[in-house]
A and B are shown apart, each in its own frame.
Chain A
Amino acid sequence: MRKLRIKHTLRVVLASQKEQIRSETAFLANFWADVLTAIIYVVTQTVFIDLLFRRAGLIAGYSRNDFFFLMFVNQFTYFSTTRLLALPMFLLVDSVRFGHFDLMMLRPVPLRAYLYARAIKPISTLLAAVPSLLIFGAMIDWSRLNIGLSSVILGIIVWISGYFIFRTFIFALAYPVFTEGDATDSLSGFFWTASMNQMPYQNLPQFMKVLSLFIIPTLLMTAGTVAVILMKGTSATIVVSSVAASLLLSIVFKIMWKRALNNYSSASS
């Protein structure tokens, strides 16, 4: 039964994504601006980092090559969090505000899976993310990175933990829409966290490291992950604390989601 339900959900997710692709390609010009913005950002960042490291060989224990790797992970995190987690929350806030959430609730599929499938735009995500990742990826001398199989696995664990922490964090910002009727401004607040990701993790003050577990999870996902993969600092502490925080916050997320639906009053007809 459970297997059948998962199969059905997957079929619906695929069909929703197919519909999204059709929607996206109906307005082709729409996403070229996105691609252009991403490329301009990457090029300016690349030039800036290059200039910076010509004057100083190492910054906070990071070489030019390490720093490009940090930027690579930063971009990967940025696109994953904004496109796969933040966009669904913006859709959630809008649909609750304007009453379209009613129609989502009536569909015989897991509500969150359906919400995410309706919000994620596969084509524009790929078109914006791939050029950025390719440019930063090309700037890295992969053979000179100080990485090992175990450090990569631990880094992926930290990143996934951060992903679940971020899911709770961004939902907490969207939650007021269920109690107050709007959360557009609080949700937009997540963008400030994106500007705090490009800092070497092990050099951060202790309070920032703790904060990254709960309110700046993208910092953990980028700087924390890179510190673990490049074996800089105390990896065990980062891994254990991020896994523990993600488990705790996943429980918080489930409780909040249930409370949100109980509080849902549905926009008037």
Chain B
Amino acid sequence: MQLDRQNFDDTAVVRCTADRLDAASSVKFKGLFRGVADGADNTGTDTGPKRFVLEMSTVQFMDSSGLGAVVSVYKSLGEGVVLDLAGLTPPVERVFRLTKMDSIFKIFASVDDALVS
């Protein structure tokens, strides 16, 4: 698993390169995300990006542990910082839908779509 961050104005795009986000990898995901997010102060002060986009198009499987990890990093960004999702594969999108967590996150087809919105 690898997480890479790219900044576009006020938005930080984090690409998660992994084929699975499951019980075996969710702890690693949380640690890596905090690592890339901490590149700037994201605690709602002026310096950090106001929005993160998590790109997950390589992830072919996510379970409830993976979903819990995404919710956890969302909470850790703090009030006032948005987390959007992009490039969800059908099995990942299904997990958000079945648990109703698709109402918490904005889901975009691609990073390009997320950046023009």
Q: Do A and B come from one complex?
A: no
Interface residues of A (CB under 8 A from B): none
